[in-house]
Every structure is written in structure tokens, then in C-alpha cells.
């Protein structure tokens, strides 16, 4: 759980499964998330933006997967963050998956289908159009609680779009 009773923002649940290319669960993966707070600011010294920090929200969490590949987080819906002087990034959550048998972890993003800024996100537009849907969670609501479902497919025809880490300049 990333939130405390004092955390500002709209409470949401993120849940999903980590599966291989055959749809089989990956029972011993570690899913890590990093996100901005509800105002759109990361709890990180390099984020010197004007949005306020929330002292009750770190924006970082880890969840191990269960035998059926399931993971979950209780968090807040993040705000939009600055991309450059003129543009914002749509609200999103950075997702990293570590698993046995993978020499390197994989990194991706979770976007929200009900946020109008998602379709304009400059990073999402770097992904081929036919693969973008793998980065957009599905929204479910029950009893007033909102859950975003985000399955991570590690390989195969339905593989989630992954991002490579930027290398240091030479």
C-alpha cells in the first residue's frame, strides 16, 4: 500500500497479472511502480516543479506476484507531469518487472483510459500505434472503488510494449 489516511488524491487500486508468452502466470516476479503524486510531482530531489509535495506519499512501491501471477497496489491517481516547457505528460505510472530467468528487468508505463490527456502523451506517441493499447489499463468500478487492471505480458504476440533505458552520453 502506497497511501496513508492523510495522503491527498483519489484512491485507486492497480492490479493485474504477469504472464509469459503462453499466458502462463509468472509466480515469482517482482513488480515495482514509481509515480507522481496527485498534484503531478515526484518525491525526488530532481523534481523541482511548482506542484506541492505530499509528505504522506512517496510514490514508490513493490509487489511480489502470487502463484497465479497476480499483483496489486493501493495508491492515488497521479497528476500530469511536465515533459518540456510547453507540454505535459499524461498521468501515468512507471512499471518495472523483475523475474527469474530474465537477465534484465523490463520497464513500461501504465496509462489511464479515462484521462483525456492519455491520447496526447508525448511518450505514448513514441510507441507504434498498434502497440499502444498494451500500455493502457482497463478501468473497473465496484461499490464506488476504482480499479485499473494492467496485465504485463512478457513476450509473444500480445507482449506489453517495453522501454529501453537511456544510455549515458559518450
Residue 2 within a domain: no
CATH code: domain of residue 106 = 2.60.130.10
- pLDDT at position 165 is 61
Residue 142: φ, ψ to 5°:
-145, 125
Total domains in the fold of the chain: 1
**Percent of the chain predicted with pLDDT > 70:** 96
Residue 137 within a domain: yes
Residue 158 within a domain: no
- pLDDT at position 101 is 83
Q: Where are the beta strands (DSSP E) in 1-160?
A: 11-19, 30-34, 60-64, 70-76, 81-82, 88-89, 92-98, 106-111, 138-142, 145-149, 152-153
Average pLDDT value for the chain: 93
For residue range 113-165, what is the model confidence (pLDDT) as tens digits? 999 999 999 999 999 999 999 999 999 998 889 999 999 999 998 999 999 86
Amino acid at each position: 500500500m502506497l497511501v496513508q489516511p492523510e495522503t491527498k488524491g483519489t484512491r485507486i487500486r492497480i492490479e493485474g497479472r504477469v504472464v509469459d508468452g503462453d499466458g502462463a502466470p509468472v509466480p515469482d516476479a517482482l513488480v515495482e511502480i514509481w509515480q507522481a503524486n496527485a498534484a503531478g510531482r515526484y518525491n525526488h530531489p530532481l523534481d523541482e516543479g511548482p506542484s506541492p509535495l505530499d509528505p504522506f506519499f512517496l510514490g514508490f512501491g513493490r509487489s511480489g506476484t502470487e502463484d497465479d501471477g497476480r499483483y496489486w497496489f493501493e495508491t492515488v491517481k497521479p497528476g500530469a507531469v511536465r515533459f518540456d516547457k510547453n507540454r505535459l505528460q499524461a498521468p501515468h505510472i512507471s512499471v518495472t518487472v523483475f523475474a527469474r530467468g530474465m537477465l534484465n528487468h523490463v520497464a513500461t508505463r501504465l496509462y489511464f483510459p479515462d484521462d483525456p490527456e492519455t491520447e496526447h502523451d508525448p511518450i505514448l506517441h513514441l510507441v507504434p500505434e498498434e502497440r499502444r493499447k498494451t500500455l493502457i489499463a482497463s478501468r473497473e468500478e465496484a461499490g464506488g472503488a476504482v480499479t485499473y487492471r494492467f496485465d504485463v505480458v512478457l513476450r509473444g504476440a500480445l507482449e506489453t510494449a517495453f522501454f529501453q533505458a537511456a544510455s549515458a552520453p559518450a
